[in-house]
Structure 1
Amino acid sequence: MQVITRLADLAEPQSYDVVVIGAGGAGLSAALVAAIEGARVLLVEHTAYVGGTTALSAGTTWVPGTHHSAKVNPTDTLADAAHYLDNAVGERSPAALRQAFLETGPEAVRYIETQSEVKYRPYAKHPDYISDLAGSTLTGRALEPMPFDGRLLGELFALIRPPIPEFTVLGGMMVDRNDINHLLGMTQSLASFRHSLKIVLRHARDRLGHSRGTRLVMGNALVARLLYSLAQHDKVSLALNTAVTDIERGADGVEAITLSQQGQQRRVQVKGGVILASGGFNRSPALRKAMLGEVDMSWCPAAPGHTGQAQELARGLGAHYGPSHDTNAFWAPVSLRKRADGSTAAFPHFVMDRAKPGMLTVNQAGDRFVNESTSYHLFALRMQQSLADGHAAADVPAYLICDARALRKYGLGMVRPGGSGLGPFIADGYLTEAD
């Protein structure tokens, strides 16, 4: 794989079978499959990093019926999964499309694992998000990427978008749910002590030569595995800090694109097709206002490259958005705190605190208004309901309340479990305490 830092470095001829716009999880996957099938691929990324929001996430892939699923939930069937999707989605998407996903999803997982270094494992305690619907299950359908040794990437390691700092410990050590359980139980179990000691010592060695830990988990692990696999293909070029400013369409489809980088432009011919995988539009004020109304998006924790530019190019070629249903975005509640460098941390409350015993959510009137254990998306939608009803934003901001015992056991947002070091959080207003 060739990494292009200047457009002048584009190899001749400047013609590719497949051009992929966006190097997040979807774009990396599309480029990898095209490369596996023998195509000459150009992967274009608007920012300095690969990984997009995938690198900041848990990296979970929801695919029912895989060979991994059978290990932890052998009684689950695709019919059950179809029933769940029928109840969760209904007429908001074509039934044939959902069925195609269910039938080919297991094949896709096996293909990518066989043909590359992308490897998954089932997470035994990962229920479907709307678990009260018929057809839902408590385990088996969600796959997480296996941890990856970032040292194998060499210089490419620096290209992976770092995780949200508040999701790491000890100055850049990534931890997944399994690690967290061991770290919390290290004084109670010899196995947990050994596991904790192993990853902490590994991190200490990493910091001698790296700015952060190289033991990658969750979304960073998935991105690293995709990038490592792409690097094995010599017909792939990766252009960073590069925008696509024009897509030319001819009688037989897309014929060329125009790349822009630091005032330079290059026209690149396309023989096969262009794949748009550039993410959403959360960094576009105009599109946010048009599609999401007046909701404040100042603190969106997603990756910064989601400008919606590629979507606008596609619309210029005749593409259009599908019908709106419940909402035009995926949502999550976040809490905010100033970092030492003056930036503001936006911490997504996905699963580690608000759904745990001892946690309570109230609005500004002090009323509990939502089930704390619901999915982060539905949780945030409920927070916005007062806006949709035309009332004052009584539920924004909302407040998470817990007692000292729950705080010690589970932590709260950016506050780590254990219950120590609360002073700075209380002093700056992130935490409020009462007798």
Structure 2
Amino acid sequence: MDFELTEKQSYWRDRVRDFIEAKVRPAVPVYKEQDAAGDRWKVIPILEDLKKEAKAAGIWNLFMPPSSGHPHVDDTVAFEGPGLTNLEYALCAEEMGRIGFASEVFNCSAPDTGNMEVFMRYGTAEQKQKWMVPLMNGEIRSAFLMTEPAVASSDATNIETRMVRDGDEYVINGVKWWSSGAGDPRCKIAIVMGKTDTEAQRHAQQSQILVPLDAPGVNILRHLPVFGYDDAPHGHMEIELKDVRVPVSNCILGEGRGFEIAQGRLGPGRIHHCMRTIGVAEEALEKMTKRLLSRVAFGKTIAEHSVWEERIARARIDIEMTRLLCLKAADMMDKVGNKAAAAEIAMIKVQAPNMALKIIDDAIQAHGGGGVSEDFGLAAAYAHQRTLRLADGPDEVHARAIARMEFGKHGGRPSSRISSGDMAATR
């Protein structure tokens, strides 16, 4: 058991960290100014400038692990990236988590990363050329439409969106929400999960089909703020699909393969979320510490009051434990595969956002009235992390899977598949 980073792990982590500190962090005030001006749903110029710099520096498309050995990979259209393992990328993702928009700078933001992995692993050469290549180049954005307002989507078999074949086309009808990324004017394509055969076995009814957002019948009903934050220009939308027609060739992998695709997509995405969450927690701890050292109350710095020493210590302990669990899960995914790492993926998915929420909450408290304002970014961080207790499957679904695995060790009910339910806010 070796806890030292390899030369490659350090190299990529440090390149990302250095670029963020030299380029991204100084650009935060400019980003905020441009974000606040004019239309909410727009391309932000400073972000596009940073993307060009990161791409030119070769710090781009870091998320895609080596694809060799995957049964569905079609290499007719190659994925352009360094081919980092999950463990190597996890260290980079933590650094990206320190600033909300940093992951997009490196073309590593949700839900594009997960969608690009779907194209790479399951897409045809035509689908890759038309959609994956421009996504890889950072020219367009994408969305993933799974969750629905009318059903409990933590059990994705509940999904009601219908996809009925009519000759050489599918006719799609349904309503999706929490369709993250659909507010961006560059969002051109959505991967939609729905039912193509309601008579098939429970996990063979669903398919995933590509739907261009400019297709007739795709109607954005409203955007959904999170605790009052609109998350523009990314956004989370409620979308109506009304008699939307797309060619049969837009089906990914084949009818009835939707769950299979979702499982392949969500495992790595959960790790990406969790490592970014550790970066969020580190940033909150740093802000809290600096605030406590700079403010005086009752004749001494707030840091000298013992309750805060306890909170700071607990934060550091929890971050370190969570990071180790996340790195273990990523390492297992690389060595034995996502299925064998199911328990670790579920555990870190529950642990990471809850850990970050506690630290952010303490940081808010340390900042007093400023903590709940927009001045320090803590309120927005809390809103986002609270969302992650639902995205990629709610805590209860993952806890259920963990418990069943434990019961299974002692003759109880065997472990079941981790649900693919999510808020479509995946990577």
What TM-score, normalized to structure 2?
A: 0.25
Instruction: Tell which has more relative contact order, 1 or 2 (C-alpha 8 A, sep 6+).
Output: 1
Q: Which structure has the larger Rg over C-alpha atoms?
A: 1
Q: Under a length normalisation based on structure 1, what TM-score does the superposition of the two structures give?
A: 0.25
Whose strand proportion is higher, 1 or 2?
Answer: 1
